[in-house]
Every structure is written in C-alpha cells, then in structure tokens.
C-alpha cells in the first residue's frame, strides 16, 4: 500500500482527492497548509507527496524546496495554475511531475504510479549484477541506484536518476524529447517537453562543473539530448 501525503488547502478538493486515492487503495494523510505538510512529512513517512501551489502562509514552491533540502521523496504538484511558467518554476523547484487541476482520479493515479516506478528502475532479469560505470568524474551504479561524483554521493530526485540512467545506458545516442517523455516519464507526448528540459537543468546543476557548458548531458539543438561524449 502506497502512503500518500496530500497538501491542499481547499477542503472540497482535499476531500475529493482523498476519496479517490483511498479508492485506489492508498493510505492517505491530508493537510491544509505547507507548515502542516512539512510536519506530517516527518511523522507520517509517505512514499509520495501530492502538493498544491497556492497554499496559505508558506506556498507550495517553498514547501517543495524545503522538502528537497533533506529528501528525494517523489513530489507531484497538483495545481490549478497551468501556465508554462508556473509549470517550469514548479519543476525547477524539484517536483517530479506536474498535474493541472481539475484532473480525474485516473490521471492522478497514473501520474503517481509513473513517478513511483521511477524511484525503483527495473533490475536486469538475469539477476547478474552490473559493474558500476565510471565516466569522467561520475560513478554510476545501476544496481545500487546511486551516483557518485568525485567520490561524493550525488542526491538525485527520482526523475533525475532515471533520466541519467536512461541516457547513460546508450552513450552518444541522441533521444528526442518525445522519446524521453515516453520512456522516462511514461507520458504520451502532448507538449510536455518542459518536463524534460527542467529535469535536464536540475541534473546538470548536480553533475556538471559548469551547467552552461555541459560535458555529460549534451543538447542536440532542435531534437533532444544525449549522454557524452566525455573527453578522457
């Protein structure tokens, strides 16, 4: 059973989402403010956070940033604010996905499941352990689902980790945003390239010396992204 923390200030929306989540079998706790959400995060120990942006007091973006300071728990923003800039800012704050309200229970459930699958990428069916890949300053361990840079663990959110694992599995192959959305985010393509771009920006900020001159995650202008090449 998945434990979901919902942070939503509108009582009617909160009741509706909770009913939907419980109908799908999730154990759910719901609170109405960012401050209460941060407190519940420690006490409830959820597997995923559903987060509204327009909250009284501490807004959702600040809550998202606060969570990311100490935790890589999956975060899905659930907000009525659907402008491109709102979505980009939410993703840059550390969210793994963004759902615009009103949204059906089926859509919320599908997005949650996709994000949760990204927290535990499938292991090889053979059961054989793959040796960690060392590329430049990075050590990518697919079995441990960890990335180290110059010997230090790099804290990656689920989307960032899966994107890096996916791209690094096929060095120098270029993937379109559409391909990445379908394979990493498990979304059908309908204009959500901003999900990919925002995740790449966050990932570069963690693994590149200069994110403006990336070495590992290369942009192929007008098409998408590739991993490397990395000079020896």
CATH 3.40.50.2300 fits 3-118, yes or no: yes
Q: Establish whether domains 3-118 and 133-227 are of one fold.
A: no
Residue 230 has pLDDT above 70, yes or no: no
For 33-58, what is the mean pLDDT? 92
Percentage of the chain surpassing pLDDT 70? 90
Per DSSP, which regions of the chain are E strands?
Answer: 3-7, 27-31, 48-51, 75-79, 97-100, 133-135, 138-141, 146-149, 152-153, 175-176, 217-220, 224-227
* pLDDT tens for each residue of 90-132: 888 888 888 888 888 888 998 898 888 866 554 434 344 556 7
Residues in the chain: 232
Residue 177 has pLDDT above 80, yes or no: yes
Tell me whether residue 98 is exposed, middle or buried, using C-beta atoms within 10 angstroms of its C-beta: 0 to 12, 13 to 18, 19 or more.
buried
The DSSP element (H or E) to which 63 belongs, if any, is helix 60-70
List residues bridging with 219 in a β-sheet.
225
Residue 32 has pLDDT above 90, yes or no: yes
Indicate yes or no: pTM above 0.75.
no
Boundaries of every domain in the chain: 3-118, 133-227
Residue 156 has pLDDT above 90, yes or no: no
- 133-227: CATH, from 1.25.40.10, 1.10.10.10, 2.40.40.20, 3.40.1410.10: 1.10.10.10
The token pair that represents 145 in the structure block: 């689902």
Q: How far is CA 184 from the centre of its chain?
A: 10
Count of other CB atoms within 10 angstroms of residue 220: 11
Residue 9 has pLDDT above 60, yes or no: yes
For residue 229, what pLDDT is reported?
Answer: 59
Biggest CA-to-CA distance, the chain: 57
């Amino acid at each position: 059973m998945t434990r979901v923390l919902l942070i939503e200030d509108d009582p009617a929306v909160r009741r509706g989402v909770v009913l939907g989540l419980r109908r799908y079998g999730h154990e759910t706790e719901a609170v109405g403010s960012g401050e209460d959400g941060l407190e519940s995060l420690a006490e409830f120990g959820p597997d995923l956070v559903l987060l509204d942006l327009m909250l009284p007091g501490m807004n959702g973006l600040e809550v998202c940033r606060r969570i990311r300071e100490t935790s890589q728990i999956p975060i899905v923003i659930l907000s009525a604010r659907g402008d491109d800039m709102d979505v980009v800012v939410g993703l840059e704050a550390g969210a793994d996905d963004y759902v615009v309200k009103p949204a059906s229970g089926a859509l919320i459930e599908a997005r949650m499941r996709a994000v949760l699958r990204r927290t535990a990428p499938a292991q090889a069916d053979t059961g054989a352990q793959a040796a960690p890949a060392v590329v430049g300053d990075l050590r990518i361990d697919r079995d441990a689902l960890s990335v180290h840079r110059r010997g230090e663990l790099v804290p990656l959110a689920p989307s960032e980790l899966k994107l890096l694992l996916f791209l690094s599995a096929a060095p120098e192959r270029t993937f379109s945003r559409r391909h990445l959305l379908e394979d990493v985010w498990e979304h059908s393509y309908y204009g959500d390239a901003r999900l990919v771009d925002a995740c790449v920006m966050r990932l570069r900020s963690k693994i590149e010396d200069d994110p403006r001159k990336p070495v590992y995650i290369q942009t192929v202008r007008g098409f998408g992204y590739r991993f490397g090449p990395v000079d020896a």
